[in-house]
Amino acid sequence: MIKAIVNGKSTFAVNNDTKLTCDNQEVDWSAVKLPTGDYSVIMDGRSYQAQVLRIEKDTKTVVLQIDQQQFEVVIEEPIDQLLASMGIKDAMTKKVNDIKAPMPGLVLKVLVTPGQSIKKGDPVLILEAMKMENVFKAGSDAIVKEIKVTERTAVEKGEVLIVLE
């Protein structure tokens, strides 16, 4: 059984062993992918147009738009549910990695401060290497624990630049 959490509040138990059920109620549905990439879904006799806006594999989240309304669906597979029942829910999530220099270079600008909360994709540092400016972005949501470098300093390959937690 899969658990689907919609918009952070509504939780549904979905089972697809032989027939699709949602909260122990059988669901009659079909879906067809349209040439536009959207989906035409017929569920319990009603027609819907659905579009997949985003899929985040690391958090098992899908963002859908159904008939002009947006839904964020978090999927919990049986292993996720088992880990949660054992009190180790986050064991399967990615570890936040510190930001390291991939090559020797010069730190041009530090864009964050210790204690700052950052989101995946936020720019955190600009490093000049081989006469090019490289903007480093957060690989996941994190908090800046420590900044190990200062602006206008040289760094070596593999050196930790920013410590995240």
Structural domain total, the chain: 2
Look at residue 72 and tell me whether its pLDDT is greater than 60. Answer: yes
Residue 138 and residue 120 in contact, taking contact as beta carbons nearer than 8 Å: yes
Lowest pLDDT segment from 26-35, 47-56, 77-86: 77-86
Chain length of the chain: 165
pLDDT of the residue at 9: 86
Look at residue 147 and tell me whether its pLDDT is greater than 70. Answer: yes
Say which residues have a Cβ less than 8 Å from residue 10's Cβ, sequence separation at least 6. Answer: none
Q: Do both 105 and 87 map to the same domain?
A: no
Domain boundary among 45, 71, 92: 92
Q: Do both 116 and 37 map to the same domain?
A: no
Q: Do both 112 and 156 map to the same domain?
A: yes
pLDDT of the residue at 165: 85
How far apart CA 79 and CA 91 sit, in angstroms, is 10
pLDDT of the residue at 25: 86
pLDDT of the residue at 92: 52
pLDDT of the residue at 106: 95
When comparing pLDDT for 5 and 20, which is higher? 5
Which CATH number fits the domain that encloses residue 137?
Answer: 2.40.50.100
Q: Do both 130 and 72 map to the same domain?
A: no
pLDDT of the residue at 33: 94
Lowest pLDDT segment from 21-25, 52-56, 90-94, 128-132: 90-94
Cα 53 to Cα 62, 72, 73, 85, distances in angstroms: 8, 10, 11, 31
Q: Which domain holds residue 11?
A: 2-92
Q: What integer is the mean pLDDT of 46-70?
A: 90
Domain boundary among 31, 63, 92: 92
Domain boundary among 92, 112, 136: 92
Q: Do both 13 and 85 map to the same domain?
A: yes
pLDDT tens per residue, range 82-137: 877 777 765 555 556 788 988 899 999 999 999 999 998 899 999 998 888 989 98
Residue 113 and residue 124 in contact, taking contact as beta carbons nearer than 8 Å: no
Give the pLDDT band (50/70/90) at residue 21: confident
When comparing pLDDT for 57 and 112, which is higher? 112
Q: What integer is the mean pLDDT of 33-37?
A: 92
